[in-house]
Amino acid sequence: MPANLTPQYRAAEAKFKAARSNSERRAALEEMLATIPKHKGTEKMQADLKRRLARLRQEEESRAGKHGHAVKVEPEGAAQVVILGPPNCGKSSLLAALTRAEPAIADFPFTTTRPQPGMMPFEDVQIQLVDLPPITQQHMEPWLANVIQGADAALLVADPTSEELPEDVEVVRERLAAMRIHLVGALPEAADPRDTHLETLMVVTKGDRAREEDLSVLEELYGCTYQLVRVSVLQRTGLEAFKVALWRHLKLVRVYAKPPGKPVDRSAPFVLVEGSTTQDLAERIHREAAQHLAFARVWGGKLDGQRVARDFELRDRDVVELHF
């Protein structure tokens, strides 16, 4: 579907290209996001604008935080996903079970005081999970919003055995919403560009100890807003299903490049946003050479090396041979 970009969007884009400061770039990006047509043909562009805007805001606030306490987590892997929740909900245990990270784990609140990143393997890609300090009505780290705004997605962790449920989860949502950070199951079609909407999965921990009625309450309260994934770190159940759910939630595709006349390299796939085309892949490989892309051949699904155009939409696990 064509993007059909408006003159207002084009003008905002021109402002962005001419911008000389971060504040000018941020204002232009906010205007681009506000004026871009909202339909399926621009979903990928909207997602890209939101990521660029979030990272720019994070950079601005990090610089402003030099007089205070600034924290930043460099993104790695296919995506950066932050782990959020109230105290003792199982965030750190989840990180330890899914990655090689060794976070401090204890039965008292606020064991996690700094961001703890870890790389979660999923088939042939790595996804960065970042365990963040808990959020309560009385306390939230002042730098937390900066880190969250720069992430690609979030995990909202809920402990069904907690006596504070659902109030403790609601505190997390409400305190972040007060800072214009909204944990959503799906991105809204129209939103204030000053807000950060972060696509979120709800992870229900301690499934081995939870009562069925508690799980039903969570499903009733949040099932219409989030996809719920149940896990038990102790019994190591649900972890593989969680990985699959997160990968699908991120809306990414893996593409394997095949040089003409040579075998495909499956060791390091290119990770692209769902809806990306052969032209997008060419730009990822070599931005300057991409303008000379003539066509591509694709293997995957029902295709077996057929020739496709520059705007062909790639799917997960496609093998692509680019011809310049």
**Cross-strand pairs, 77:** 127
Task: Identify whether residues 59 and 85 lie together within a single domain.
Answer: no
Task: Identify whether residues 123 and 241 lie together within a single domain.
Answer: yes
Task: Identify whether residues 178 and 308 lie together within a single domain.
Answer: no
Task: Identify whether residues 287 and 166 lie together within a single domain.
Answer: no
pLDDT at 78: 95
Q: Is residue 12 part of a domain?
A: yes
The residue segments making up the domain with residue 52 are: 7-67
Q: Average pLDDT for residues 10-34, to the nearest whole number?
A: 84
Q: Is residue 225 part of a domain?
A: yes
Task: Identify whether residues 110 and 242 lie together within a single domain.
Answer: yes
For the ranges 41-45, 105-109, 201-205, which has the lowest average pLDDT?
105-109
Task: Identify whether residues 190 and 44 lie together within a single domain.
Answer: no
- In the structure, what pLDDT confidence band is assigned to residue 110 with cuts at 50, 70 and 90? low
For the ranges 61-65, 90-94, 260-264, 280-284, which has the lowest average pLDDT?
61-65
Tokens of 126: 């790595």
Alpha-carbon distance of 184 to 62, in angstroms, equals: 25
Indicate whether this model's pTM tops 0.85: no
pLDDT at 26: 79
Calculate the CA 224 to chain-centre distance: 20
Tell me which of 224, 250, 276 is where a domain ends.
250
Task: Identify whether residues 134 and 259 lie together within a single domain.
Answer: no
Task: Identify whether residues 237 and 257 lie together within a single domain.
Answer: no
Task: Identify whether residues 220 and 303 lie together within a single domain.
Answer: no
Q: With beta carbons less than 8 A apart as the criterion, state whether 50 and 8 touch.
A: no
Specify the CATH number for the domain of residue 280: 3.10.20.30
